Structure 1
Amino acid sequence: MGQPGGPARPQLSPDGRWYWDGTTWRTALSPDGRWRWNGYTWVAVGGGLSAGWIAAIAGGVVVVLLAAMVPVVLLFNAATHLTPVGSQPSPAASPAPTSFTTIPCDQLEHTQVHYHAYLQILNQGSRVSIPTNVGRSSACYYWLHMHTNEAGIIHIESPSDRTFTLGDFFDVWSDWGHAPQLLDSTHVGTLTLAGSQKLSVYVDLGDGKGGAPFSSNPRGIVLKDHEVITLEITPPTVNPPPAFTWPAGF
């Protein structure tokens, strides 16, 4: 509920990374990672003081000075020359971020680094469809993207050799679709797990050992060539997860 006499507080996602502005989901973290939206204003990451609290504290300091200083004229003269320290960003200087990811969307596909990983999502035993044009538009290609008729295959095509994670792909998916695709213990894309459900994660490195359970944060799974990643919302449990055969040419 909104505060009496004020606007309703925007709805934040459970992980605090996104907020609903009434029409669409927007990221609550600036691209440089220095500022976070708290529902009312941008605050420095790691800092808990809002603009309202800062104003209140500043007002209290002025009251104390007025009570302590006898020469009112001198006090007024000094107060008019006070310089604020550690000012917050103004809307003009720090506009609300519009991108969900720092991975670029370039006009051409890159071939310097090019490999593939496979992602499958199961919800209560049924396969969840992933758009095969994730990461592609008529104008550009993200370094992580999919191709038509290649369901689940993530193309990693980058101009430089760097580490990419499953979290990076979900961020690209969010940016491409202009809506958050969450990935944590209670969310997979737009799916939210109920209290009785659990997210099981399996990673098959293509070494013949099959899918191994992955118990850490699934966003941290490093994408590797011919890796098969399964995100499974249980029950029921599908173990081992469905096998995947790489098509010819991969």
Structure 2
Amino acid sequence: MTADGRSMPPWPAPVADVPDRVAAAGLDLGPMGTAEHYHPNLQIIIDGQQVQVPANIGVDPATGAMSAVHTHETDGTIHIEADTVGETFTLGQLFTQWGLKLTPTQIGGVRVDDGVLQVTSDGAPVEGDPADLRLEPEQRIVLRVR
């Protein structure tokens, strides 16, 4: 993966600089919060092909510490484990930790200048910047490039 997050899939979870990536997302590493715990799901489809969301985004392999927004599995489940009720977390925070660029016209190195980036949340179209999409309990997010 390039340092600017513009590589082509597959996109592995970063293993270096995890604390810096977590901090860049406005989060911190530490013991998991127990005030709120929920699981949105992210699906990425590029030209009809499913792109795997890797395990261990937001997890420091050196210490095992996790941010409040992280993954454990490769099934697209995003784990939110917050230490305060009502905290707001966004899809952009996950992508920042992942090291991938996410804009209305780009996912990593996949640009949609000649195509369409469709973003849905629970089946409803999402307008604006997908990085600003607020993560919600049991939410189903789909990013589709055609």
State the TM bucket, normalised to the shorter chain.
Answer: 0.7 to 0.9
- Residues 135, 212 of structure 1: alpha-carbon distance in 2 compared, 3 angstrom cutoff: same
Deviation of 1:221 (Å): 1.1
Query: Aligned with 1:142: secondary structure?
Result: coil
RMSD: 1.9
1:51-101 per-position Cα deviation (integer Å, ceiling 9, x unaligned): xxxxxxxxxxxxxxxxxxxxxxxxxxxxxxxxxxxxxxxxxxxxxxx5432
Question: TM-score w.r.t. structure 1 length?
Answer: 0.47
Does the aligned pair in 2 maintain the 1:103–1:172 contact within 8 Å?
Answer: no
- Report the Cα distance in structure 1 between the residues aligned to 2:45 and 2:88, rounded to whole angstroms: 26
- Report the Cα distance in structure 2 between the residues aligned to 1:165 and 1:195, rounded to whole angstroms: 24
Structure index of larger Rg: 1
1:18-49 per-position Cα deviation (integer Å, ceiling 9, x unaligned): xxxxx8449xxxxxxxxxxxxxxxxxxxxxxx
- 1:21-60 aligned within 5 A: 24-25=3-4
Residue 221 (str. 1) matches residue 133 (str. 2): yes
Aligned counterpart, 2:121: 203
Residue 104 (str. 1) matches residue 9 (str. 2): no
- 1:1-250 aligned within 5 A: 24-25=3-4, 98-99=20-21, 100-106=24-30, 108-138=31-61, 139=63, 140-148=65-73, 151-161=75-85, 162-174=87-99, 181-188=100-107, 190-204=108-122, 211-234=123-146
Deviation of 1:159 (Å): 0.8
Q: Which runs of 5+ in 1 are unaligned?
A: 1-22, 27-97, 175-180, 205-210, 235-250
- Report the Cα distance in structure 1 between the residues aligned to 2:92 and 2:75, rounded to whole angstroms: 19
Q: Percent identity?
A: 31
Mean Cα deviation higher: 130-139 or 114-123: 130-139
Question: TM-score w.r.t. structure 2 length?
Answer: 0.78
Kindly tell me the number of residue pairs found equivalent between the two proteins: 126
Question: Match of 2:127, as an amino acid?
Answer: S
After the TM superposition, which parts of structure 1 deviate over 6 Å for at least 4 consecutive aligned residues?
none
**Relative contact order: is structure 1 or structure 2 higher (C-alpha 8 Å, sep ≥ 6)?**
2
- Report the Cα distance in structure 2 between the residues aligned to 1:118 and 1:194, rounded to whole angstroms: 23
Deviation of 1:194 (Å): 4.5
Aligned counterpart, 2:11: none
Q: Which runs of 5+ in 2 are unaligned?
A: 6-19
Question: Match of 1:167, as an amino acid?
Answer: G
Name the structure with the higher helix share.
1
